[in-house]
Amino acid sequence: MAERLVLSIDGMGGDHAPEIVIEGMQIAAQRLPHLSFLVHGDEAKLAPLLTANAAARAVSEVRHTEAHIGMEVKPSQALRQGRGSSMWNAIAAVEEGQARAIVSAGNTGALMAISMIRLRMVQGVHRPALAARWPAASGGYVVLLDVGANVEADGQQLVEFAIMGEAFQRAVSGKARPSVALLNVGAEDQKGHEEIKGAARLIRAAGVEMDFRGFAEGDDIAKGTFDVIVTDGFTGNIALKSGEGAARLVAGLLREALTSSLMAKLGALIAYPALKKLRQRMDPSNFNGAVFLGLNGLVVKSHGGTNAMGFAAAIEVAALMAQSHYREEIASNLARLGSAQAPAAQQQDAG
C-alpha cells in the first residue's frame, strides 16, 4: 500500500468554516484516497460535520482547540495572541514533521506572519512570495506572483520569485519547462524601471535552468502567453483583483443579457450546454489555492470566501506540491544564482 500523505488543516479558518472545510476535505478524500488529515479546531463543531462526511472522517484525526484567529486580526496581534489557535497548531504540525503541508482559508496576514516565524525562510530567499493561478485563453492557467506578500521587490527578489514560480508551475501543471516572463509596461528591453531591467539581466547572466522569455505585458496574463509571470506584490495584487472584478462584470452582463427578454431566455436555454461549460471554465473555485513560496514548509492559502469545491482544489494543490521536487529545484537554481553573484560581490568588496 502506498504511503499516506498527511496534510494539516486549519479547520476554523475562513468565512464559512468549519462547514466548507470539512466538505472540501470530503471531496478531496474521494478524489485522492491516499490523503490523510490532521484537522485543528473545536472538536464539538468538527465532529458532527465529520460524521456527515464519511470519506473525510475515515482519514481524519481531530486536534482539539477552541481558539482561532479571526479574519479581522492584525498579523502582529496574531503573533502575540495566536499561540494555540487552529492556525498556529496547524502550522506547528508541519514544522514538527507530522504533516507535509498546511491548508488554511483563514487570515492571510496572520498565516504569513506565523508561517515565517515557525517555518523560517529557505536559505537564499529573502522574502516569501504568494503565487496564484489564473485561467488563460490558451486553455490552461498562468501562475502569477507575487500577489500580495510583499508590497515592493528589488531585482534580486524578482529573480527569486521567478525561480520559485517556475518550480511551482512545474509541480502543479506537470509542464517540464514552463516559460517565465517579468511583468512590465512593454515587451521591449529598454522599457521599465531599473529593478525590472536588472532582474532580466541577472536571470540571463546567472545561467539558471529556466525558459526565460523576457518581459510580459498586462494582457499576457489572460492570454496565457507565458506560464509564469513575475512581479512585485503591489502590482500583482492589483492585477489579480482587477481580473477578478472583470470576470464578475462579464458574468453579470452576460446574465443580464440572457434574462432581458423572453427571446433572450429562449436563446439561453438553447445555449445552455455551452454556457454551462463557460461557467465551469470561469469558476474561480477551480483555481483556488495560492502558495507561500520560499518557506521551509509548504503553506497553501485558500480564498477566505471559497466554497467546498474551492477548498478541495486548495487541498489538491497542497498534495501536488508535497509530492513534487519543487524544493530541490528551487535550491538548485538559487545555488546557480548565488554562484553568479559571488564574483560581482567579491569585486565590490575589493573596491
Provide the pLDDT for residue 4: 87
Residue 225 amino acid letter: T
Strand segments, DSSP code E, in 251-334 are 290-293, 298-301
What's the rounded Cα separation, in Å, for the pair 83 and 97? 18
Report CA Rg, the chain: 21
In the predicted model, what is the mean pLDDT of residues 280-299? 83
In the predicted model, what is the mean pLDDT of residues 235-255? 84
- Confidence class for position 2, pLDDT limits 50, 70, 90: low
pLDDT at 1 over 60: no
In the predicted model, what is the mean pLDDT of residues 246-262? 83
pLDDT at 47 over 60: yes
Strand segments, DSSP code E, in 26-111 are 35-41, 60-64, 101-104
Longest CA pairwise span in the chain (Å): 79
pLDDT at 69 over 70: yes
pLDDT at 306 over 50: yes
Provide the pLDDT for residue 311: 95
What's the rounded Cα separation, in Å, for the pair 44 and 51? 12
Instruction: Identify the top-confidence range among 87-96, 187-196, 197-206.
Output: 87-96
What's the rounded Cα separation, in Å, for the pair 151 and 76? 17
Lowest mean pLDDT among 39-53, 83-97, 270-284, 311-325: 270-284
Is residue 69 within 8 A of residue 110, CB to CB? The reply is yes
- Confidence class for position 346, pLDDT limits 50, 70, 90: very low
What's the rounded Cα separation, in Å, for the pair 255 and 261? 12
DSSP bridge pairs for 212: 180
More confident site: 210 or 36: 36
In the predicted model, what is the mean pLDDT of residues 276-297? 80
In the predicted model, what is the mean pLDDT of residues 76-103? 94
Could you tell me which of 220, 237, 234, 229 has the C-alpha nearest to residue 161?
A: 229
Provide the pLDDT for residue 274: 79
Residue 220 amino acid letter: D
- Confidence class for position 330, pLDDT limits 50, 70, 90: confident
What's the rounded Cα separation, in Å, for the pair 64 and 90? 11
pLDDT at 350 over 60: no
Provide the pLDDT for residue 253: 84
Percent of the chain with pLDDT over 70: 94
Quick: pLDDT tens for 148-159.
888 888 888 899
For residue 96, what is the DSSP state? T
- Confidence class for position 90, pLDDT limits 50, 70, 90: very high
- Strand ranges of the sheet holding 35-41, from the earlier edge strand across to the other edge: 60-64, 35-41, 5-10, 101-104, 298-301, 290-293, 129-135, 141-145, 228-230, 179-183, 211-216
Residue 112 amino acid letter: M
Mean pLDDT, the chain, rounded, equals 87
Quick: pLDDT tens for 110-136.
999 999 999 998 888 888 899 988 888
Instruction: Identify the top-confidence range among 241-245, 309-313, 344-348.
Output: 309-313
pLDDT at 342 over 60: no
Is residue 301 within 8 A of residue 167, CB to CB? The reply is no
Cα three-residue angle 298-145-133, rounded to 5 degrees: 75
pLDDT at 103 over 90: yes
